[in-house]
């Protein structure tokens, strides 16, 4: 059986699709899976051992110069790649008009969400087979259900298996007893305040751990330097690609992150992760898997789903909703996850 998966972005969404791929491969041994994905995240599908070929798109870049892109060879090479093979099933795991177009162009019967289930209802017009999947479920659960119905197998009653842990955990590339802080995120309203990170760093260091701070933009690099200022136990990493970041996360003792794609990567690697939510709600898209905890702010206007916090008062903590998530509470939660993970690993070794 040959399957084409269309899931182009973003990082968290692409990672959320991996457990469905694991399910499909377990239910159909010998399946061949290709994947259409945005160039920025093209490394991720290939991490899964059951993904055979990755076809890159660049819609995010092409939309800035649509006429030049359509006239260039890059777009048509992408379409040629999509149409190169005949598929038994083409699954649109995105539910958008652009992903529905790719699904329609592919050579094979298209499957996807029906109109009420899709993010963009008109996308359902692009599929031969449409499935109702309740939207009030976590994204990982919805995707696992979509794949099960598209490929006609029973949905496994198991925790999500992202299929990438073995590739990155326990790697010799990264050594040390360390915790990773994932402080960078696109929305200012999602950012945990610098003084909270510094308080947490002091608690982590008192317990004997060092701290690693990755970053992806110049603004995130400045934030990392502010968190690390005068702390000899905090290392600001050089700018890393996704593979190297995955090695760093996979070998960490624990991770604390805000609502960002890298927190989902840490969750996919089954590392103990505490993810902090203020402006956003983890119910439908929070980190999920083994050794995970989502701490949600308790505040009158949370979750506001706004990029910028408009709440103002005299409190030094901003966004103000994070006053309900102090550093000590976060550290206690992470310690609990780390201890549980250690006990589980020890039991596996003894068995």
Nearest to 122, CA basis, from 102, 108, 101:
101
Which domains does the chain possess? 2-163 (3.40.50.2000), 168-350 (3.40.50.2000)
Nearest to 309, CA basis, from 228, 190, 229, 138:
190
Report how far residue 74's alpha carbon sits from residue 51's, in angstroms, rounded to the nearest whole number.
Answer: 23
pLDDT of residue 347: 33
* DSSP helix/strand/coil, 305: coil
Nearest to 271, CA basis, from 290, 257, 243, 284:
290
pLDDT of residue 345: 40
Count of alpha carbons within 13 angstroms of residue 71, beta-carbon side: 4
E strand spans, 19-159: 32-38, 51-57, 89-92, 110-113, 129-131
Neighbours of 329 (CB within 10 A): 13
Q: Is the dihedral of CA 265, 267, 273, 279 positive or negative?
A: positive
pLDDT of residue 350: 30
Residue 107 · residue 86 · CB < 8 Å: yes
pLDDT of residue 95: 97
Residues of the chain with pLDDT under 50: 342-351
Direct distance between the N- and C-terminal alpha carbons of the chain, in angstroms, rounded to an integer: 36
pLDDT of residue 310: 86
pLDDT of residue 120: 97
Report how far residue 301's alpha carbon sits from residue 287's, in angstroms, rounded to the nearest whole number.
Answer: 22
């Amino acid at each position: 059986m040959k399957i084409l998966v269309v899931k182009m972005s973003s990082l968290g969404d692409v990672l959320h699709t991996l457990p469905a791929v694991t399910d499909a491969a377990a239910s159909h041994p010998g399946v061949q899976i290709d994947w259409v994905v945005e160039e920025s995240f093209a490394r991720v599908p290939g991490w899964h051992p059951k993904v055979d070929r990755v076809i890159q798109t660049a819609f995010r870049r092409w939309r800035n110069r649509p006429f030049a892109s359509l006239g260039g060879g890059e777009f048509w090479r992408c379409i040629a790649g999509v149409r190169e093979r005949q598929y038994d099933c083409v699954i649109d795991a995105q539910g958008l008009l652009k992903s529905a177009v790719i699904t329609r162009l592919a050579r094979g019967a298209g499957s996807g969400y029906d109109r009420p289930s899709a993010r963009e209802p008109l996308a359902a017009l692009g599929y031969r087979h449409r499935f109702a999947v309740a939207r009030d479920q976590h994204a990982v659960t919805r995707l696992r259900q979509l794949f099960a119905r598209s490929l006609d197998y029973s949905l496994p009653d198991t925790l999500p298996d992202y299929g990438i842990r073995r590739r990155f955990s326990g790697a010799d590339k990264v050594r040390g007893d360390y915790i990773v802080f994932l402080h960078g995120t696109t929305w200012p309203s999602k950012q945990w305040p610098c003084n909270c990170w510094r308080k947490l760093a002091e608690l982590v260091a008192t317990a004997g751990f060092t701290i690693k701070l990755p970053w992806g933009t110049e603004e995130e690099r400045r934030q990392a330097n502010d968190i690390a200022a005068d702390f000899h136990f905090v290392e600001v990493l050089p700018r890393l690609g996704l593979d190297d970041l995955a090695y760093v996360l996979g070998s960490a003792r624990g991770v604390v992150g805000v609502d960002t794609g890298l927190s989902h990567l840490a969750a996919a690697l089954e590392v103990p992760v505490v993810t902090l939510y203020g402006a956003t709600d983890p119910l439908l898209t929070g980190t999920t898997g083994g050794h995970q905890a989502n701490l949600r702010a308790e505040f009158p206007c949370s979750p506001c789903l706004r990029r910028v916090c408009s709440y103002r008062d005299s409190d030094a903590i901003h966004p103000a909703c994070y006053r309900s998530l102090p550093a000590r509470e976060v550290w206690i939660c992470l310690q609990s996850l780390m201890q549980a993970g250690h006990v589980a690993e020890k039991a596996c070794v003894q068995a």
